[in-house]
């Protein structure tokens, strides 16, 4: 039987939610952070909107939102931090991520607003809402840049496999690949009206990642790359580049923009069941990331690149197939990231000029704009965003710095700093109470990593990093005999300082 205090708390919370209902509708209708905004409701009018997911189904959906392209950089993160310390950091980042995901839903229960923008607006008003909007624009936009880098790197290697003579001008090939893919694939997909169909196909990304992981593990066990030389840095337990490594790991675990989508899709979504789903999902994501990191690092050790697929020889047909799979996964994800960026820009412009809350109908696919004027503005905004990502991407040829930048400046504030700040503001307990101390630690950790990481990364963001270089252990390949430059076996694979 419930105690009187429990009943009182329940009534108080329910009353609080009702009092805020009118003002908080903006949070629900402006939930551009949830991919659910891309999905059309399939139920008929008057019937139940959609079937709720069981705990295993919710866990699978959550895993699908966590595991993505970021895992390809985990071996490089282990190289930056040191193999032993890097694995320890991977556990720490996964644990902190697990806590922050649970904390976000607690914030939702405290304020009665079950969306990330709603929580921030309830906690810090318009200032919190606009700060979140800025970070949520940065995260997918930087991800789009990283996708251009990945597609340019991976597909250019596949093309050179069929036309070896192109290996002597990899820069031009890479630029041409990104240009062609942008014009003929990315732009049509980003302008595609029914974006919800692309969102429904997002599970293909998880399938591609699993297949790539199987290929990476197979290459380690087969011994095809046992000729990769050891260097003095190969098995060092710890390195000093901890902050950039944490940025890459945070990017790999970033899924906070889909938290409330998964939570609201659950049957009997109690905090106990939510914690169980979060533990299962983050645990599985950690396992995938750890397998990628261990298999990739044990194969290439100190020569691990920001994009693991860059390490494999250009005539390795299995890994060329993996490169194609990875590119397909990237191209299916690109328009979803573009959609999020576009809708944030359009929503903020409308809200600025109207000086009032802009309603957002989550029951409709927001890609279906109405009216020629809205259609034209949407197209212009989309083209500007895609073109901006295309222009910026050639400034770095390595995935590592882009992952670090996105992780440090966007993923860590979104995943750790803002959820902690929201809970500190919304929870009625004192700042140094047992309930708030972990949230305070989360904020301090995220703030220190972000500030120190930006100070370290910014001066070295654009270095002499180059792609189109055959690694030393591949120098006997037919590509090398065609005059393409190759890396010596002592090359240090820090993307900001690579030397030929």
Chain centre to alpha carbon of residue 162:
32
What is residue 344's predicted lDDT score, i.e. its pLDDT?
Answer: 87
What is residue 203's predicted lDDT score, i.e. its pLDDT?
Answer: 76
In the chain, how many H helices and how many E strands? 19, 0
Secondary structure element (H or E) that encloses residue 384, with its range: helix 372-392
What is residue 178's predicted lDDT score, i.e. its pLDDT?
Answer: 93
- Residue count of the chain: 500
The DSSP code for 357 is P
Pairwise CA distance, residues 334 & 148, whole Å: 9
Q: Is 269 left (phi over 0), alpha (psi -120 to 50) or beta?
A: beta
What is residue 253's predicted lDDT score, i.e. its pLDDT?
Answer: 94
What is residue 299's predicted lDDT score, i.e. its pLDDT?
Answer: 95
What is residue 273's predicted lDDT score, i.e. its pLDDT?
Answer: 93
What is residue 200's predicted lDDT score, i.e. its pLDDT?
Answer: 64
Chain centre to alpha carbon of residue 373:
32
Residues of the chain with pLDDT under 50: 1-50, 358-371, 464, 477-500
DSSP per position, 151-179: HHHHHHHHHHHH-GGGGGGHHHHHHHHHH
Place of tokens 């370290």: 456
Geometric angle at alpha carbon 87, from 81 and 91, rounded to 5°:
120
User: How many C-beta atoms lie closer than 10 Å to residue 9's C-beta?
Assistant: 12
Pairwise CA distance, residues 422 & 439, whole Å: 9
**Which tens digit of pLDDT belongs to each residue from 368-389?**
444 455 778 889 999 999 999 9
CA distances from 491 to 73, 233, 238, 390, 496 (A): 18, 11, 19, 29, 13
Pairwise CA distance, residues 121 & 138, whole Å: 19
What is residue 323's predicted lDDT score, i.e. its pLDDT?
Answer: 93
> 3-class DSSP state for residue 102?
helix
- CA atoms within 13 Å, Cβ hemisphere of 416: 30
What is residue 464's predicted lDDT score, i.e. its pLDDT?
Answer: 47
């Amino acid at each position: 039987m419930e105690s009187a205090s429990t009943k009182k708390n329940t009534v108080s919370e329910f009353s609080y939610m009702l009092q805020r209902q009118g003002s908080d509708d903006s949070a629900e209708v402006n939930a551009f952070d949830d991919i659910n905004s891309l999905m059309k409701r399939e139920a008929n009018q008057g019937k139940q909107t959609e079937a709720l997911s069981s705990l295993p189904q919710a866990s699978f959906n959550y895993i699908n939102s966590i595991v993505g392209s970021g895992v390809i950089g985990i071996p490089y993160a282990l190289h930056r931090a040191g193999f032993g310390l890097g694995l320890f950091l991977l556990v720490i980042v996964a644990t902190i991520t697990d806590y922050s995901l649970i904390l976000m839903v607690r914030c939702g229960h405290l304020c009665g607003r079950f969306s990330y923008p709603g929580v921030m607006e309830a906690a810090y008003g318009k200032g919190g809402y606009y700060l979140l909007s800025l970070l949520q624009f940065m995260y997918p936009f930087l991800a789009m840049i990283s996708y251009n880098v990945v597609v340019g790197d991976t597909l250019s290697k596949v093309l050179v496999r069929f036309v070896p003579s192109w290996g002597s001008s990899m820069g031009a090939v890479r630029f041409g690949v990104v240009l062609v893919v942008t014009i003929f694939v990315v732009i049509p997909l980003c302008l595609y009206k029914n974006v919800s169909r692309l969102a429904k196909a997002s599970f293909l990304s998880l399938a591609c990642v699993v297949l790539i992981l199987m290929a990476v593990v197979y290459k380690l066990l087969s011994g095809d790359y046992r000729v990769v030389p050891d260097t003095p840095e190969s098995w060092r337990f710890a390195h000093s580049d901890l902050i950039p490594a944490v940025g890459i790991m945070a990017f790999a675990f970033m899924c906070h923009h889909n938290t409330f989508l998964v939570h609201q899709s659950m049957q009997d979504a109690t905090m106990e069941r939510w914690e169980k789903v979060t533990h299962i999902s983050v645990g599985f994501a950690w396992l995938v990331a750890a397998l990628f990191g261990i298999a990739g690092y044990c194969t290439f050790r100190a020569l691990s690149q920001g994009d693991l697929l860059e390490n494999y020889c250009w005539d390795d047909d299995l890994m060329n197939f993996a490169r194609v799979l990875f590119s397909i996964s990237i191209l299916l994800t690109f328009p979803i990231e573009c959609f999020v960026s576009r809708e944030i820009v359009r929503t903020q412009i409308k809200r600025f000029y109207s000086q009032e809350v802009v309603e957002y109908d989550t029951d409709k696919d927001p890609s279906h704009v109405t009216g020629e004027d809205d259609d034209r503005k949407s197209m212009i905004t989309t083209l500007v965003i895609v073109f901006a990502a295309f222009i910026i991407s050639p400034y770095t040829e390595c995935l590592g710095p882009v992952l670090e930048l996105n992780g440090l400046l966007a993923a860590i504030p979104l995943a750790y700093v803002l959820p902690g700040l929201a809970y500190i503001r919304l929870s009625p307990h004192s700042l140094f109470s047992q309930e708030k101390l972990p949230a305070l630690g989360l904020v301090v950790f995220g703030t220190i990593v972000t500030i120190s990481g930006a100070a370290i990364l910014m001066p070295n963001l654009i270095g002499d990093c180059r792609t189109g270089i055959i690694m030393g252990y591949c120098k006997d390949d037919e590509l090398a005999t065609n005059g393409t430059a190759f890396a010596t076996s002592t090359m240090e694979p820090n993307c900001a300082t690579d030397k030929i």
